[in-house]
Structures are given as structure tokens and as C-alpha cells.
Structure 1
Amino acid sequence: MIDILAQINATSRGVRRDDESVTVVMGRTYQASVEDVWDALTDPDRIKRWLMPISGDLRVGGRFQLEGNAGGEILECDPPHRFRATFGDASSLVEVRLRADGDERTDFEFEHTVPIAMAVSGAGAFYVGPGWDGAVLGLDLFLRGETAADPVEAANSEEAQRYSKESVLAWTSVIEKSGTATAEEIAAGRQVALDQFAPGLDQPL
């Protein structure tokens, strides 16, 4: 069992919007060295233990594919501090930054940027934010030695869906405060996210 609200509150979230793009921003501090976090993020044998199997060439210029999910190309890599890649589409960009905070703490920063034409508004964060929340949680559990035997199966469990529902609520508040979407866009995006990430739960809000 995980402490759902404690895990939700351990992650910071933000949404930025300009005339060209929408960016989802997340942050977390992991209780592990920067080298260990980097290795967990970039070693295929470890990635499959907290996220899902991955194949491909994880070097700059190489392409990768997450099993049953998106793929992309590695654009930049500066071990153990930063990497940047496309994700699902050439115009969809993810960036991860790590900073050591002492010997056994690492500050993790994540951004996912897509064109405004794809996201439409800040409510586009609903389509990716809860999914990335699950990945951020999975990495924390893995680094603590609490990983499930099958992370994909665990991600579809009732507990994971309850976590995802709380994630959607958290993103609702963030998007509302950001001023990047209308009330109608937020309501529609929230319902889509609930249907996608927490389909097994009663969903009155």
C-alpha cells in the first residue's frame, strides 16, 4: 500500500502556455544519489522494472520504443545531469534534469512540451500529466526497493487508479491556477483524463 496523498504532494506540478506551445512541468526529490537516479532512468534493464520494457539505441541520435507506448529519438544527453528526446512525435519534446542535493538526494525536474495546435490549451496537460505522475511515482518506489513484480500490471491496479484520480484532481487545480485554459476546456479535459487513467472508479467530482 502507498500513501496516495503523500505521494501526490511529493511532486510539484506546473503548466506554461505561450503562442506556440504548452509545457507540463514536474519536480520531485528522490532519496538516492544522482548517479543512481540517472542509471534508473537510462538503463533498459532497470527501466523495465519501474516503467515498462524499452528497446532501441539509447544514445544521442538513437531511437527508442517503450513497449505498448510511445517511442522517440534521443536529441541531447549530458550524463548524469540532463537528457532531451522526442516522445511520440517529432514536435513533442521531453527533457529531464537532475541535480545532486548531497550524496543521497537528487532533485528531479521534468518538462514535456507540445505545440499549441496539439494541446489546444493548458488543459492539454490532462492528457499527459497523470501518466507522467504514474512514472514519477514508479521511479520513487523503485529507488526505495518497493517495485512490483510487473510494473505494467501494478499501473492498472485499483490502487494505481485511485492514485491517478488524485493526480487528475491535482492537475485540475494547477491548470485552473495557471490561467492557461477556459473553464469549459478544463471540465472536458478532466473528464477525458478520468476516463483514461481511472476508468474503473466511480468518478463524481
Structure 2
Amino acid sequence: MTASAADPLVDAVRRTLDIVPGEDAFGVTSTLSTNLAPAPVRLWPLLTDPAQLVQWYGPVTGDLREGGSFRAPAASGRVLEVEAPHALHLTWEYEGRQDDLLLRLDPVDDGSTSLELVHTTAMDPGVFAQFGPGALAVGWDLALLGLAAFSRGWEDMCGRPVPLPTPQWLASDEGRGFLRAWSIRWAAASTAAGTDPDQARRGEIATTAAYGGASPAAV
């Protein structure tokens, strides 16, 4: 599948970046925004109940109440603040680093939810130069696709079922096309935030390859 063929689902998410370059680290805030059909009160358990999380995200254990700690696939963290069913503020800890993660769910007049995910991290300048923000942000694209598939949150908007991003799907032509399309979108957002276009393009290619997406010649 080409990147353009994936557009209806890829562009169900809006992506923006705030990048603060530095010698020791690049401060990167990635914001992903989307609309999902279920109301906040219906989406909230999918984000906070381990029995629901395992069905679309993966096994999450621990206490997801305010002040609690948890362990998720490839990360752990602490719950800093909860405003059910509208806000979940966490630390996101992995590879010796501690990032800030905020999820906001706001009701829309038609009964749906406006969801915003904000991830703030400090990236090593060398990693940023090689991969750009997509090295981390594409992982959140995968998570939102899983949430949309499980909640059926994009079906009316996109006019078709949303694929659940299983390992088998990611290895398929469709999955690799999505990975490449996400990398393209993050490179564009990085350019809009001030990154040199050639560097952003190199990061796009490296991120696509790192996630196992299709090479430019294959799409």
C-alpha cells in the first residue's frame, strides 16, 4: 500500500512538534490530536483499566490511580494526576529516562471525543540528527491506531474498519505502508518546526527502516 492510499486513516491524526535544540539534548514535544466516536466516559476505561488496555495496547500492570505506579510494554511510570474521565498525566520512564506524558479527553457536541496526547522528551542530539522525532512519535501513532480499532472510533469518519496493529499486520504491505506514511508526516512536522528539510528527510528514511516499514522504492 502506498502512503497516499493510507491517507484517510493516517490523517485521522493531526501532528505538531515543538523542538528546542541544545548541545546536550533536544527538547521535543510531540502532540497528536484526533477525534474518536465514543464519548470520554466510554473511552476512559480503555486508557485506565488493565483488562481493557491489554486488548489494544498490551499488558499494563500496577495502580493507575493518582499517585500509583505502573509497568507497560517497554516502559514504566507514575501517575501524577487524574481527572476522570478527562485527563491522565503520567511519567513515561524507559532506558534510564523520564518523560512527561499527558492525555486529554474533551467532549464534542456530537457526543464524540477530542483526544490529545502530548509527549515531552529530551532527545540525544545524535539520535535526533539520525532519526528525528519519528523515532519515538511513530510509536504513539501505533497506539492511537490500536485504540481507534478497538473502540471503532474512526470507522464513520474513515468509511472502513480500522486495522489492529498486530505484529502480523505490521509485517504486511499495508502495515509497512502505514509506517512509512507516519514517518513522512513526522518529517513534515519536524520541517515545520524548523528542522532542515534534508535532515528531516534522512530522519524519515531512518525511522521507516527502524520500524520495519517499506523502503522508498517499495511504495
Q: TM-score, normalised by structure 1?
A: 0.84
1:125 corresponds to 2:133: yes
Map of 1:16-35 to 2, 5 A cutoff? 16-18=18-20, 21-35=27-41
Which residue number corresponds to residue 53 of structure 2?
A: 47
Aligned pairs, number: 199
Residue in structure 2 matching 1:162, options 152, 156, 177: 177
Residue matched to 2:158: none
Consecutive unaligned residues of structure 2, counting only runs of 5 or more, are 154-160
Provide structure 1 residue ranges, at least 5 long, that are not aligned to the other structure: none
Paired-residue identity, %: 25
Partner of 1:186: 200
Q: How big is the shift at 1:154?
A: 4.8
**Corresponding residue number in structure 1 for 2:7:** 5
Q: Of the candidates 55, 61, 71, which is equivalent to residue 65 of structure 1?
A: 71
Distance 1:7 1:192, change over 3 A: same
Taking the aligned partners of 2:38 and 2:168, their CA distance within structure 1 comes to: 23
| 1-structure distance, mates of 2:177, 2:93 | 26
Equivalent AA in structure 1 for residue 196 of structure 2? T
Shift, 1:26, TM fit: 0.8
Aligned AA for 1:9? D
Residue aligning to 1:143: 151
Note the alpha carbon deviations across 1:140-164, whole angstroms, 9 max, x for none: 111118687x854355331222211
Task: For residue 111 of structure 1, report the CA deviation from its aligned partner.
Answer: 0.6
| CA-to-aligned-CA distance 1:34-89 (integer Å, 9 cap, x gap) | 1111111111111111111111111222221123x212111111111111111124
Instruction: Tell me, in whole angstroms, the C-alpha distance in 2 between the residues paired with 1:66 and 1:59.
Output: 15
Give the root-mean-square deviation of aligned CA atoms: 2.7
Match of 1:134 among 127, 142, 145: 142
The 10-residue stretch of structure 1 (163-172 or 136-145) with the greater mean CA deviation from structure 2: 136-145
Shift, 1:184, TM fit = 5.0
Cα displacement string for residues 117-174 of structure 1 (whole angstroms, at most 9, x for unaligned residues): 57757x64111111111111111111118687x8543553312222111111111111
Tell me, in whole angstroms, the C-alpha distance in 1 between the residues paired with 2:187 and 2:178. Answer: 14
Correspondence for 1:177:
192
Q: Work out whether 1:84 is the aligned partner of 2:81.
A: no
More moved, 14-23 vs 74-83: 14-23
Change (3 A) 1:61 1:147: farther
Question: Per-residue deviation at 1:191?
Answer: 2.6
